[in-house]
Each structure stands twice: as C-alpha cells, then as structure tokens.
Structure 1
Amino acid sequence: MKIIRILQSFFIALALISSTTAWASGATVVYHIDDSANARMVLGNVTNHLIAAPDTKIHVVSNGKGIEFLLVDAQDSNGKPYAPAIQALAAKGVAFKVCRNSLNSRKLGDNAVIAEATIVPAAVAEIARLEIDEKAAYIKP
C-alpha cells in the first residue's frame, strides 16, 4: 500500500513536471508595450524569459508611445541606444512589431522604424491574433 502511494506521488510529480516543461518549451508569448519609458525593463524581461525558457517564441508588440524605442536612432533616458539590445534579441528569434496606426498618427513612414521590427496594421489586432491563433500568453509589464 505504501509503495502504491509512493508510485502515485511519483507519477503525479512527473506529470506536473512534464506539463510545465511542455508549456515552457515552444510556448508563444506576446509582450505588449505602449510606453517606451518601460522599454529597457521589457528588453530585460524578454532576455530573462529566454534564459529561463529558450524555446519560447516571443513577440514584442508596440503601440502608442511604446513605438518610440523601435524608431531609428532611439535612445533611453540615459542616452543609451536601444538598437544593440534589440538586434541581439532579434538574432534569438524575438519578433518586434510596430503599430501602423501609431506611426500614422505621428505622420511617420516605414523608414522611421528600425530594420529588426515589422510593421503591423494595428497592434491590438496583432495581439488578438497571437492570443487566438497562436495561443500566446499575454504579458503587459
């Protein structure tokens, strides 16, 4: 009887570990940023996320003031450029997306956006698509 309980506990623990590993491995996550004041923190969160779960497919979707860090020559409040961190994460498969509506509201063209970012018609529509079609987890730091 005691052996059966030990085996049951073992198999329950194994199932929990397997389901956690399966979710972390190959999961899709969308980080939503609507204020570039948080951009450096978001880039750090994404870096840490990939360290913990390197097989995660991450999309950083920006709109409103959140597009600013994805513009050509963008720098943080300390004058440090965002481009090197974005390039490093893009090389690891992170997809950066900029809302066309936000660009249009500022009268900015596609050439205002860094090469590592993709322009999507609407950030909210892209987030919804990722959540529905790709079962993405939504994170709003």
Structure 2
Amino acid sequence: MKALFHINEPDRWPRVLLNINNFIKDVGPGGTSIVVVANGTGVLAYSQGKKELIRQMEDLHGQGVVFAACRNALNMNNIREDSLPPFITVVPAGITEIVKRQGEGYAYIKP
C-alpha cells in the first residue's frame, strides 16, 4: 500500500500525524510506503514547528515515512533549506511531486 499525505495548512499537522500513526497501526510496520508533501504554509511546521511535532515526524521518519518540502513554498515563506531538520527532503515543486507520486500508484490523502 502506498499513501501520499498532502498538507498545505500548518494547523492540520496534528491530524496528519495522527492519521499516519493510525494507518501504520492498521497495516503494520513495513506494510506501506508513506510520503508527506508539504507546500504553501504547510512548510512552516518544518522550521517553526513545535518541538513535539518535529519529534513525532522524526519518529515516523524512523519508521520509513518520507517528509518532503516544496522548494517554492520554502522560498515564499523565507525558509532556508539548511535550516530544516535533516530528515526533510526538499523537492522542486510540491504539486509536481504529488502528481508524480500519484502516477506511481500512491493514494492521495488530504486530512
């Protein structure tokens, strides 16, 4: 199973992380490939996020979840790539990444 979680609103992060944890519990560890694509103001959590959110993201990354940030959104929000936590992957454009992943069979989820 492959799932792509799209987030573009910073206040939605707790729900996204809860959904991912519930999904992993349901399918079991290693039973899925999960990518989170943040664009718009959703990227703010990567640089201004509460420490608890970053810790949860880090834990999920340790379970194989990929966290991606849109370079266009980072630039729009004046966030330097080198200020991001090391587990964040920067992609050129969030929308393009979403379309690409859907073409690879990822189910699109927008909590």
* Pick aligned residue for 1:81 from 46, 52, 62: 52
Q: How much does 1:111 deviate?
A: 1.5
Instruction: Give the TM-score normalised by the residue count of structure 1.
Output: 0.74
- Residue 101 of structure 2 corresponds to 130
Query: Do 2:43 and 2:73's aligned partners in 1 also have CA atoms closer than 8 Å?
Result: yes
Name which of structure 1's ranges 28-37 and 81-90 shifts more when overlaid on structure 2: 81-90
Match of 2:2, as an amino acid? T
- Residue 80 of structure 2 corresponds to 109
- The whole-number CA distance in structure 2 between the counterparts of 1:33 and 1:112 is 20
- Residue 32 of structure 2 corresponds to 56
Q: How much does 1:105 deviate?
A: 1.1
Q: How much does 1:118 deviate?
A: 0.4
Q: Tell me, yes or no, if structure 1 residue 98 matches structure 2 residue 55.
A: no
- The whole-number CA distance in structure 2 between the counterparts of 1:87 and 1:46 is 13
Structure 2, unpaired ranges of 5+? none
State the secondary structure of the residue aligned to 1:61.
strand
State the secondary structure of the residue aligned to 2:39.
strand
- The whole-number CA distance in structure 2 between the counterparts of 1:35 and 1:109 is 19
Could you give the per-residue CA deviations for residues 57-87 of structure 1, whole angstroms, max 9, x where no partner exists? 000000011111122x521xxxx53121011
Structure 1, unpaired ranges of 5+? 1-26
State the secondary structure of the residue aligned to 1:96.
strand
- Larger RCO: Structure 1 or Structure 2 (Cα < 8 Å, ≥ 6 residues apart)? 2
Q: How much does 1:108 deviate?
A: 2.0
Aligned length: 109
- The whole-number CA distance in structure 1 between the counterparts of 2:106 and 2:49 is 28
Q: Tell me, yes or no, if structure 1 residue 139 matches structure 2 residue 88.
A: no
Instruction: Give the TM-score normalised by the residue count of structure 2.
Output: 0.92
CA RMSD of aligned residues (A): 1.2
